[in-house]
Amino acid sequence: MVEIADDHYELDISRARTLLGWSPHHSLLATLPAMIAALKADPTAWYEDNKLNPAVVAGAEEELREVVERQPPPDHPAVQAVDTALAQEHGATLWAHLANIALGLWQLVSPFAYGLFDPVGPMPPPSAAGHELPPPELRNVWLAWSEMASGFAVIALSCLALARPRSWVPWAIALVGVWLLFAPLVFWTTSSAAYAVDTLIGTLVIVFAVMVPPQPGLSREALASPADVPLGWSYSPSSYVQRVPIVALAFVGLFISR
């Protein structure tokens, strides 16, 4: 690129040399490597010195290395304060796991409330893209056993989450909630009540598992940092301004699809 620029904008300074004795003190070919070296050495400072947005290069390799080096040790007061705050949040939000246990208990008895084990009267077979479906009684029984197994899983995992916070347990509970959302569709149930309630129960299980503080997946370093803008970003992608439209559109899509 430098060679092309020299070709297009080559200047004849012979008269300046002859008449004024002037010659340039800097050459782009000689100065550019030093500029690049200064940029690589400290990208953030280079952008600030040149009145550019330093957040653009906050995710550079050098900056990330400095961030890792600046991380406090596990016995640092800031990290210990985060651990204490997480323990307090966990103790204050045990109700969410208790709510999931109650939802799991409901899933154990719901097949009997919906009559999923009862015989199904004559009804036209649903359109399944030309594929033959099992009898409706069998499909409902499959859904009933799926709901009971999901209830056992939610209860067991929620009890485990009550005893001690583990990062993988909320995600496992949320995965069971996702299965509850899709199970009536997978088994082609004939029960509209099971279809509607499984949608509600699955949504609540996910909310109580991963949306109630302390949320899983957040590192202690991120919680201890006062900044809310991640490296390499000029704004926070997790602000409510960013979340609210996505959540609203998700609800619209859910209601339309259901």
Q: Which of 60-74, 172-186, 189-203, 209-223 has the lowest mean pLDDT?
A: 60-74
214's torsion region: left (phi>0), alpha (psi -120 to 50) or beta?
Answer: beta
Q: Which domain holds residue 136?
A: 90-217
User: How many distinct structural domains can be found in the chain?
Assistant: 1
> Is residue 174 domain-resident?
yes
pLDDT band at 125 (very low <50, low <70, confident <90, very high): low
Is 245's pLDDT higher than 80? Answer: yes
Q: Which of 21-25, 75-79, 84-88, 127-131 has the lowest mean pLDDT?
A: 127-131
Summarised one tens digit per residue, pLDDT across range 144-161 is 999 999 999 999 999 998
pLDDT band at 178 (very low <50, low <70, confident <90, very high): very high
Amino acid 23: pLDDT? 81
Summarised one tens digit per residue, pLDDT across range 194-208 is 888 899 999 999 999
> Is residue 115 domain-resident?
yes
> Is residue 143 domain-resident?
yes
> Is residue 27 domain-resident?
no
pLDDT band at 256 (very low <50, low <70, confident <90, very high): confident
Alpha helices in 187-217 (DSSP H): 192-206
Q: Which residues neighbour 108 within 8 Å (Cβ) at sequence distance 6 or greater?
A: 147, 148, 151, 152, 155
Amino acid 207: pLDDT? 92
How many Cα atoms occupy the beta-carbon half-sphere of 158 within 13 Å? Answer: 27
How far is C-alpha 225 from the geometric centre of its chain's CA atoms? Answer: 19
**Strand residues in the chain grouped as ranges (E):** none
> Is residue 23 domain-resident?
no
> Is residue 211 domain-resident?
yes
**More confident site: 4 or 53:** 53
Tell me which DSSP letter residue 229 carries.
S
CA gap 174, 206 in Å, rounded: 5
Is 34's pLDDT higher than 80? Answer: yes
With b for 16 or more beta-carbon neighbours within 10 A and e for fewer, the 29-54 pattern comes to eeeeeeeeeebeebbbebbeeeeeeb
pLDDT band at 133 (very low <50, low <70, confident <90, very high): confident
Question: Two tokens at 171?
Answer: 């995600």
CA gap 46, 240 in Å, rounded: 32
> Is residue 10 domain-resident?
no
> Is residue 72 domain-resident?
no
CA gap 8, 96 in Å, rounded: 68
Mean pLDDT, the chain, rounded, equals: 79
